[in-house]
A = this chain, B = another copy of it.
Amino acid sequence: MEEISIGLLGLGTVGSGVVKIIENHQDKLIHQIGCPVKIKRILVKDLNKERLVHVERTLLTTNPAEILDDPDIDIIIEVMGGIEETKIYLKQALLNRKNIVTANKDLMALHGAELLTIASENSCDLFYEASVAGGIPILRSLVDGLASDRITKMMGIVNGTTNFILTKMTKYGSDYEEVLKEAQSLGYAEADPTADVEGLDAARKMTILSTLGFSMKIDLDDVLVKGITGVTKSDLTYGKQLGYIMKLIGMAHREGEKVEISVQPTLMAETHPLASVQDEFNAVYVYGEAVGETMFYGPGAGSMPTATAVVSDLVGVMKNMRLGVTGKSAVTPQFKKQIKEPSEMFSKYFLRLHVKDEVGVFAEITSIFSEQHISFEKILQLPLKDKGLAEVVLVTHQASLQNYEDSLVKVRDLQAVQSIESSYRVEGSANR
Chain A residues within CB distance 8 Å of chain B: 17, 21, 24-25, 28, 31-34, 135-137, 140-141, 144-149, 171, 271-273, 275-278, 281, 283, 288, 290-299, 302, 304-305, 307-309, 311-312, 315, 319, 322-325, 328-330, 431
- A297 contacts across to B, CB distance below 8 A: 273, 293-297
Q: How far is the CA of A309 from the CA of B146 in the complex (A)?
A: 8
Given A34-B324, A145-B140, check contact A292 B302 (CB 8 Å).
Answer: yes
Choose one: B21, B24, B148; the contact of A308 (CB below 8 Å): B148
Q: Which of B299, B307, B308, B323 contacts A323 (CB 8 A)?
A: B323
Using Cβ atoms and an 8 Å threshold, which residues of chain B touch A277? 273
Give the residue of B273, B295, B307 whose beta carbon is less than 8 angstroms from that of A290: B307
Contact at A299–B308, with CB atoms within 8 Å? no
Which residues of the partner chain B approach A311 to less than 8 Å between Cβ atoms?
Answer: 147-148
* Residue among A32, A278, A291, A295 with most chain B CB within 10 A: A291
Are A305 and B319 interface neighbours, CB within 8 A? no
Please give, as numbers and ranges, the residues of chain B lying within 8 Å of A140 by CB-CB distance. Answer: 144-145
Q: Tell whether, in the assembled complex, residue A325 and residue B32 are in contact, meaning their CB atoms are under 8 Å apart.
A: yes
Give CA–CA (A33, B311) in the complex, Å. Answer: 21
Taking CB atoms, residues of chain B closer than 8 Å to A135 are 291-292, 294
Please report the C-alpha to C-alpha distance between residue A149 and residue B311 in the assembled complex, in whole angstroms.
10
Q: Interface majority SS on A: helix, strand, loop or mixed? A: mixed
- Knowing A140-B144, A276-B273, the reply to whether A319 touches B308 (Cβ < 8 A) is no
- Among B271, B308, B330, contact of A31 (Cβ-Cβ < 8 Å): B330
Q: Which residues of B contact A294 (CB under 8 A)?
A: 135-137, 296-299
* Residues of chain B within 8 A of A141, CB atoms compared: 137, 141
> Is the pair A276, B275 in contact by a Cβ cutoff of 8 Å?
yes
Q: Which residues does chain B contribute within 8 Å of A295, judged by CB atoms?
A: 283, 295-298
Contact assessment for B298 and A148 in the assembled complex, using a CB-CB cutoff below 8 Å: no
List 5 interface pairs A-B (beta carbons < 8 Å), by A numbering.
Answer: A137-B137, A137-B146, A171-B431, A319-B319, A319-B323
Identity of the chain B residue whose Cβ is nearest the Cβ of A277 in the assembled complex: B273
Complex: A272 Cα to B25 Cα, angstroms = 32
Given contacts A149-B308, A271-B276, A322-B323, A292 and B299 within 8 Å (CB-CB): yes
| Residue contact A28 to B330, C-beta cutoff 8 Å | yes
Contact for A312 among B144, B302, B309, CB less than 8 A: B144
Closest CB in chain B relative to A17 CB, distance in Å: 8
A410 to chain B, nearest CB (A): 38
CB of A148 within 8 A of CB of B323, answer: no
Residue of B nearest to A135 (CB): B291
On whether the beta carbons of B304 and A290 are closer than 8 Å, the reply is yes
By the criterion CB–CB under 8 Å, are B324 and A308 in contact? no
Looking across the interface, which residue of chain B has its beta carbon closest to that of A289? B304
